Structure 1
Amino acid sequence: MKKTGFLLDMDGVIYRGNQLVPGADHFIARLREEGHPFLFLTNNSQRTRRDVALKLSRLGIPATDSDVFTCAMATARFLATQRPGGTAFVVGENGLANALHKNGFTVADDEVDFVVVGEGRVINFEMLEHAARLVEQGARLIATNMDTRCPTESGVRPGCGAIVAMIEKATGRQAFSVGKPSPVMMREARKELDLRTEEVVMIGDTMYTDVLGGVQMGYKTVLVLSGHTSREEISDYAYRPDYVAESVAHLPEALFGNPAPLRIPA
């Protein structure tokens, strides 16, 4: 019988900025020791999976490329099923372009099949203007995720959802999003672990991406309060997580397949 598998959001769950969430390293060590399959799941398309693994390792959590699954990867795999060997104009950074290349796509500036939007700091208005023109010419608009803001150590900056909204408003076309909470990414991550639906636990700090994505897929869900969602905010949503915990260091034993009669109330 397979062990319970875990899909783990990163920022706010494993670390906050460049600081490890207390106990996160011990939690990951336990998963490895007990043989629980897991993936670090991120809606950040800027970095390659290797870049993400390096950051984790430097924070004290040894990780390899295969431990990481990004929305850029999910997006590239999905597009490869829609248009094998297709072309895309990319509004984003290296992690997104790299994922597209690995899935047989060519990144181009004109006459493309898709305009693919991620987040990043190198995006300028000229890129957005060109993207809008390509969409008007028939390119399909794709977003790696619809997160409207990205928390940083210096404050909030616009996320992919905010960036793609400019193109949507300018063209009247709605983007198709592949990242959390999209079933496309959530299902692909489960397949990566080679587990059944009932064997998967989604742990995140955000109700409208992590928890919603897990609920829609039928996974067990855990909201941790180590990120930017408070316990009081849970009642703002029509759906609820199965468990609420202060952090990954405070998860109920039931999630590990051990007896635990008490659920943490939401």
Structure 2
Amino acid sequence: MYETPNRVGLLLDMDGVIYRGKELIEGTASFLETMRRMGVPYLFLTNNSQRTRRDIVKKLSRLGIPSTPDQIFTCAIATARFLAQEKPEATAFVIGENGLASALHVNGISVVDDDPDYVVVGEGRNVNYEMVEAAVRMVAKGAKLVATNMDFSCPTESGIRPGCGAIVAMIEKATGIEAFSVGKPSPVMMRMARKELGLRTAETVMVGDTMYTDILGGVQMGYRTVLVMSGHTRRDEVSRYAYQPDLISERLSEIPLEWLTGTRAEEKLVA
């Protein structure tokens, strides 16, 4: 191991940065191995609330990426910790899957079917109209509406499917109540993730493939940001946004090490 000129740590989006579907993106394994040798800490950051930390560790392992549960930070974990801070031992009606329910339980939030403090919405394929109808009634009666994230669609190998934001939109429209979202680009999740690595703002680099979650969240927090072209965003779309990444790179493995570990960039760069 050798030391970098300046302390730095990475927040790494997953789908589109580390892998695409079931395929590891070229150069990812060697890049992460270099980070480990250099002592650069990194955290895998995802707006997918379906999987537990251990589920994600297993997926990464099958792709040839070693990791530990404490290197995984999901919007489900951020949501559960936020609720536990706001109202310890709260109750929640949950629309979502095991990753969300598990995170809530770990943080002392009880999952109930009636009269909850919160209606918590994540993504998943087990959602049905009966669940949405029940959530609408609970929010109308006073339960607080919380979303793990507001992504309206999720990429899959066969195309897009409705995301958490699409499910939440039905409840918002029916009740007239706007959901509070915890996942990227929310500063709640972005700040929690930085603290997981014990970093200061100037030491944090957010790497993602989506302008309106990864890059927006990083810009709002004052982190350095890297947009990779291996996932969601096309290069010709970037100029449409009022905010810009500090660096655009074809993929994670092509981020210049001297930029990553050197002093804070003064200009926007394209790799």
Give the CA deviation at 1:258.
4.7
Structure 1 runs, 4 residues or longer, greater than 4 Å off: 258-263
Q: Measured at CA, do residues 200 and 261 of structure 1 come closer, stay the same or move farther in structure 2, by a change above 3 Å?
A: closer
Structure 1 residue ranges without an equivalent (≥5): none
Q: How does 1:58-207 map to 2 (within 5 A)?
A: 58-207=62-211
Q: What is the CA–CA distance in structure 1 between the aligned matches of 2:266 and 2:173, rounded to whole Å?
A: 50
Give the CA deviation at 1:256.
3.3
What do you get for the CA RMSD once the two structures are aligned? 1.6
Give the CA deviation at 1:31.
0.9
Encode CA deviations 1:63-96: one digit per residue, 9 max, x unaligned. Answer: 1101100000000000001110000000000000
Q: What SS is found at the alignment partner of 1:104?
A: coil
Which amino acid in structure 2 is aligned with residue 195 of structure 1?
L
Q: What is the CA–CA distance in structure 1 between the aligned matches of 2:102 and 2:46, rounded to whole Å?
A: 16
Q: What is the CA–CA distance in structure 1 between the aligned matches of 2:215 and 2:84, rounded to whole Å?
A: 27
Q: What is the CA–CA distance in structure 1 between the aligned matches of 2:96 and 2:194, rounded to whole Å?
A: 26
**More deviation, 210-219/24-33:** 24-33
Q: What is the CA–CA distance in structure 2 between the aligned matches of 1:142 and 1:263, rounded to whole Å?
A: 35
Q: What is the CA–CA distance in structure 2 between the aligned matches of 1:206 and 1:262, rounded to whole Å?
A: 20
Encode CA deviations 1:111-167: one digit per residue, 9 max, x unaligned. Answer: 100000000001111000000000001000000000010000011000000110000
Q: What SS is found at the alignment partner of 1:151?
A: strand
TM value normalised by structure 2 = 0.95
TM value normalised by structure 1 = 0.97
